Amino acid sequence: MARTVLKFGGTSVADLERISHVADIVAHRASKGEKLAVIVSAMSGETNKLVGLAKGAAGDALVGDEFDDEYDVVVASGEQVTSGLLALSLRKRGLDARSWLGWQMRMKTREGHGAARIDGFDEDSGLGAAIDTGQIAVIAGFQGVTEEGRVSTLGRGGSDTTAVAVAAALGSVPCDIYTDVDGVYTTDPRIVPQARRLERVSYEEMLEMASLGAKVLQTRSVELAMNHQVPLRVLSSFSGPEADNPGTWICNEDEIVEKQVVNGVTYSRDEAKVTLYGMEDKPGTSANLFALLAREGVNVDMIVQANARGEDRANMVFTCTSSDSEKAQRVLEANSDAVSFDKMDVARDVAKVSVVGVGMKSHTGVAETMFDALASKNINIDVISTSEIKISVLIDADYTELAVRALHTAFDLDAT
Helix (H) or strand (E) holding 70: helix 69-75
The binding site for ligand ADP (CB under 6 A) comprises: 9-12, 41, 157, 179-181, 184-185, 187-190, 214-216, 264
3-state secondary structure of 100: strand
CA angle 221, 224, 229 (to 5 degrees): 120
Residue 313 contact partner, candidates ligand ASP, Mg ion, ligand ADP, none, CB within 5 to 8 A by sort of partner = none
Least distance in angstroms from the C-beta of 12 to ligand ADP: 6
Residues 93, 88: Cα–Cα separation, whole Å: 9
Residues 264, 208: Cα–Cα separation, whole Å: 10
Residue 180 contact partner, candidates ligand ADP, Mg ion, ligand ASP, none, CB within 5 to 8 A by sort of partner = ligand ADP
What radius of gyration, in Å, describes the C-alpha atoms of the chain?
Answer: 23
Which regions of 116-225 does DSSP assign to beta strands (E)? Answer: 117-121, 136-140, 143-146, 151-153, 175-179, 200-202
Helix (H) or strand (E) holding 84: helix 77-92
Crossing angle of helices 219-228 and 159-169, rounded to 10°:
10
Considering the complex, state which of residue 146 and residue 187 has its C-beta at the smaller distance from ligand ADP. Answer: 187
Considering the complex, state which of residue 212 and residue 339 has its C-beta at the smaller distance from ligand ADP. Answer: 212
Residues 351, 343: Cα–Cα separation, whole Å: 23
Least distance in angstroms from the C-beta of 160 to Mg ion: 6
Least distance in angstroms from the C-beta of 40 to ligand ASP: 9
| β-pairing verdict for 390-396 and 264-280 | unpaired
Instruction: Please report how many Cα atoms fall inside a 13 Å half-sphere around the Cα of residue 122, on the Cβ side.
Output: 16
Considering the complex, state which of residue 248 and residue 260 has its C-beta at the smaller distance from Mg ion. Answer: 248
Residue 181 contact partner, candidates Mg ion, ligand ASP, ligand ADP, none, CB within 5 to 8 A by sort of partner = ligand ADP
Q: Contact with Mg ion (CB under 5 A): which of 78, 102, 128, 157?
A: 157
Residue 158 contact partner, candidates ligand ASP, Mg ion, ligand ADP, none, CB within 5 to 8 A by sort of partner = ligand ASP
Site string for Mg ion, 8-27 (x = CB under 5 A): -x------------------
The binding site for ligand ASP (CB under 6 A) comprises: 9-10, 41-42, 47, 78, 141-142, 156-160
Which residue number is nearest to Mg ion in terms of Cβ?
Answer: 157
Residues that bind Mg ion (CB under 5 A): 9, 157
